């Protein structure tokens, strides 16, 4: 694991130390890692939301049936058989 030094104003430093001493975290590092994980999760959720909205705005809906998937698989196998050149 790598080490990173972070400069914080005194009120923020005290806040972090208070959070750790309240018992939710075993160390400042654990608290910071949890903040970063939560930020990463929110970022992924935002990207997924944007993709979903883009999909909803992309045109007419397609009914997904077993036949639809079979056709998609057939086309993929065909494309892979040609070295992936045709799309």
- Per-residue pLDDT of 10-57, as tens digits, reads 999 999 999 999 988 999 999 999 999 999 999 999 999 999 999 989
Q: How many helices and strands in the chain, by DSSP H and E?
A: 3, 0
Residue 86 lies in a domain: no
Say how far apart CA 64 and CA 33 lie, in whole Å.
41
Residue 49: inside a domain, yes or no?
yes
Statement: residue 83 has pLDDT above 80: no
Residue 17 counted as domain residue = yes
For residue 85, what pLDDT is reported? Answer: 58
pLDDT at 62: 87
Q: Which domain holds residue 45?
A: 10-81
The pLDDT of residue 76 is above 80: yes
What confidence score (pLDDT) does residue 23 get? 84
Domain count, the chain: 1
């Amino acid at each position: 694991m790598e080490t990173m030094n972070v400069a914080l104003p005194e009120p923020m430093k005290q806040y972090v130390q208070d959070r750790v001493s309240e018992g939710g975290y075993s160390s400042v590092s654990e608290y910071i890692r949890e903040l970063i994980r939560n930020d990463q999760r929110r970022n992924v959720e935002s990207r997924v939301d944007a993709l979903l909205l883009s999909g909803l705005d992309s045109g007419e809906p397609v009914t997904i049936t077993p036949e639809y998937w079979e056709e998609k698989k057939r086309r993929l196998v065909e494309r892979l058989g040609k070295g992936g050149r045709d799309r």
